[in-house]
A and B are shown apart, each in its own frame.
Chain A
Amino acid sequence: MPSITYIEHNGTKHTVDVPVGSSVMRGAVDNNIPGIDADCGGECACATCHVHVDAAWLAATGARTAQEETMLSFANGTEDDSRLSCQIDVTPALDGLIVRMPAGQH
């Protein structure tokens, strides 16, 4: 299973194995990792699973969808490396992925 590291805004690291076919959001929620709220449950409808993707992994995680782009535009502290983690599918190529959580999820 691909291993993903989630870094909370306060610096706390959580490294967990997430099954292929799941999403980066689901990996956090299923492992009770704080900092990702996922209010809409993965519908790309709320922007409360916002993460910053580590620079080394930006290419591997792909591009934002149009709806994701729109929702991220309303989130707080959106940067070039921002993604909605429900929109990143977990694949074997993401083994070792690192994402960081923002100060809050709105």
Chain B
Amino acid sequence: MNHVSTQTIQDAREKAYATPLAELNPAQPAMFQANSFWPTFERLRREDPVHYTADSEFGPYWSITKYKDIMAVDTNHAVFSSEASLGGITIRDQRQNFPLPMFIAMDPPKHDAQRKVVSPIVAPDNLVKLEATIRERAEAIIGGLPRGEAFDWVDRVSIELTTQMLATLFDFPFQDRRKLTRWSDVATAVPGGGIVETEEQRQAELRQCAAYFLNLWNERINLDTPGNDLISMLCHSPVTRNMSPQEFLGNLILLIVGGNDTTRNSLTGGLYAFSQFPEQFAKLRANPALLDSAVPEIIRWQTPLAHMRRTALSDIEFGGRQIRAGDRVVMWYVSGNRDEEVIDRPNELIIDRPRARQHLSFGFGIHRCVGNRLAEMQLRIVWEEILKRGLEIEVLDEPTRVFSTFVKGYASMPVRIRT
């Protein structure tokens, strides 16, 4: 198996420690794609946990790298704003010529009102209804996988299952569902990074997305009995009924990316993690009840979104450093989830960790992931179906990772089911 070579990791570590502290810049998409960013965060956590990078392709920014500091920023929305017009929730500022307001990138009170429109879709009673559908699909997808031959896990399993789920949540035409996958990829794409060539192409494709969904909206807005899907919820609530076209598109993208990319990459990340820690899979096979903690542990270990960004609304002394109003503040969940002070042996996947649920991958505070329990349910069901069939899935090569400092994910991963 061609794992990231020890040499690559050693080189990355040497480079991270040889660079003057002030010049450390973890926000490099190429480092995320090469999976070589870890030592930079390891050093920052020890030597400069609240770190200022004066110069990067995204502009100057603060890095928050320790678990407890991230918790403090995430729960202090009065100082650390998510507002789109200030830049939004990713290190890359929202494009001023193509603003996409969405509730994750809003502050109270508007955030609160819009979030509450869609949150019933993942309420406990609805999750019970969705479980049977997910089970049926997971059975079909896992049951239909080839045996003894190589295939791409990302495409055949991770994308397929999460895209089917997303189509259901939107009541989206099922045969067109891969459009959702495409729009999800395009929305978070870095131009030139392999998904889209230019920012113009990105925006043009997102406008197609808006047009497609506008048709669905128009079909549903005048129905007397609103359907139990996200579009119907949005068009029948007085809070969101009169959204501007950009706000409609913004919220769609939020729901598409939030409901797709993250679960997709945790599905792949889990299998990859088990290939690195096979004794953990053996433990799970011997005791499938451990899925209760294995699922959150996989989500911690993967951390499908590497960061969330805030903008300081006022001057604040934080971790001994002076953050100024207007500063870009990046909470590196991927680093906090490896914080040795809070998580024992954090680089290892340990499926029976005590307190496995205490991780940063969903964020904390008012913007905490609304679909977290749906995501966990999808992961649990996939692993139950794998275990039930006694499948041994071999990862044949290193996965191809995504060129992004935001989406920490996989473009492909070749695997084979042993016969």
Contact = CB atoms under 8 A, between A and B. Distances in A.
B112 A73 contact: yes
Interface range, B side = 20 to 34
B364 interface: yes
Nearest to A39: B357
Nearest to B367: A74
B366 A41 contact: no
Interface string A77-89: 1000000000000
B369 to A, nearest CB: 9
Interface in A52-106: 67, 70-71, 73-74, 76-77, 102-106
Contact of A103 (B115, B122, B125, B357): B125
A21 B108 CA distance: 33
Nearest to A105: B373
Contacts of A105: 373
Contacts of B112: 73-74
B388 interface: no
B74 interface: yes
Interface in A32-59: 37-41, 43-48
Contacts of B127: 104
Contact of A76 (B119, B355, B362, B364): B119
Nearest to B112: A73
B59 interface: no
A40 B359 CA distance: 8
Contacts, number: 60
A39 B358 contact: yes
A104 B357 contact: no
Contacts of B71: 40, 43, 45
A45 B125 contact: no
Nearest to A106: B373
Contacts of B357: 37-39, 48
A39 B112 CA distance: 21
Contact of A46 (B116, B120, B355, B368): B368
Contacts of B116: 73-74
B75 A43 contact: yes
Nearest to B296: A39
B362 A39 contact: yes
B372 interface: yes
Interface in B346-400: 355, 357-358, 362, 364-366, 368, 370, 372-373
B358 A41 contact: yes
Interface in A11-31: none
A91 to B, nearest CB: 25
Contacts of B365: 45, 71
Interface centre among A38, A39, A71, A77 (most CB of B within 10 A): A39
Nearest to B77: A70
Contacts of A43: 71, 75, 364
B124 interface: yes
Nearest to A102: B124
A48 B124 CA distance: 12
A46 B125 CA distance: 20
Contacts of A67: 75
B364 A46 contact: yes
A38 B358 CA distance: 8
Nearest to B372: A106
A43 B71 CA distance: 8
Nearest to B373: A106
B358 A40 contact: yes
B407 to A, nearest CB: 22
Nearest to A67: B75
B22 interface: no
Nearest to B356: A39
A45 B364 contact: yes
A70 B125 contact: no
Interface of B: 71, 74-75, 108, 112, 115-116, 119-120, 122-125, 127, 355, 357-358, 362, 364-366, 368, 370, 372-373
22 contacts: A39-B357, A39-B358, A39-B362, A43-B364, A45-B364, A45-B365, A45-B368, A47-B368, A48-B357, A71-B366, A73-B112, A73-B116, A74-B112, A74-B116, A74-B366, A74-B370, A77-B124, A102-B124, A103-B125, A104-B124, A106-B370, A106-B372
Given A43-B364, A76-B120, 20 more contacts: A38-B357, A39-B357, A40-B71, A40-B364, A41-B355, A43-B71, A45-B71, A45-B368, A46-B368, A47-B368, A48-B357, A73-B116, A74-B119, A74-B368, A77-B123, A102-B124, A103-B125, A106-B122, A106-B124, A106-B372
